[in-house]
Amino acid sequence: DAKTTQPPSMDCAEGRAANLPCNHSTISGNEYVYWYRQIHSQGPQYIIHGLKNNETNEMASLIITEDRKSSTLILPHATLRDTAVYYCIVKSGNNRKLIWGLGTSLAVNP
């Protein structure tokens, strides 16, 4: 599966949008982009995933560039409870394993 690159840390003001970037320049045509987050001392939580099109759910929006080499996770109105490490993972649909990088540590500040 393709590797991903994320900034190690980001800050965001409460109530503002948090935009978390991810580079996956070696992504293959059959690989999805998944986003998870991990709040301190908890198990990871699934956020969203996509293949080509932008996706939105109750938690976030996922914007994937046309060439699919990068994506951005958007938390539209960040709250203090969104402080967590956010992981961008690329994997093919028939691969059941997730390979975890170091993610982006997002701090939402009051």
Partner 1 sequence: GAVVSQHPSWVICKSGTSVKIECRSLDFQATTMFWYRQFPKQSLMLMATSNEGSKATYEQGVEKDKFLINHASLTLSTLTVTSAHPEDSSFYICSALRAAGPSYEQYFGPGTRLTVT
Which parts of this chain interact with partner 1 (CB under 8 A)?
Answer: 38, 41-46, 87, 93-94, 96-103
d(CA 84, CA 106) in angstroms, rounded, equals 6
Locate tokens 């956010």: which residue?
86
Which CB atom, from 28 or from 77, has the smaller least distance to partner 1? 28
Task: Give min distance, CB of 20 to partner 1, in A.
Answer: 16
Task: Give min distance, CB of 85 to partner 1, in A.
Answer: 8
Which CB atom, from 67 or from 96, has the smaller least distance to partner 1? 96
Dihedral pair phi/psi, residue 81, rounded to 5°: -70, -10
Give residue 66's region: left, alpha or beta (phi > 0; psi -120 to 50): alpha
List, in order, residues 6 or more apart from 29 with CB less than 8 Å away.
none
Task: Give min distance, CB of 70 to partner 1, in A.
Answer: 20
Task: Give min distance, CB of 86 to partner 1, in A.
Answer: 12
Apex CA 38: angle with CA 93 and CA 25, to 5°? 45
Which CB atom, from 80 or from 99, has the smaller least distance to partner 1? 99
Which CB atom, from 29 or from 43, has the smaller least distance to partner 1? 43
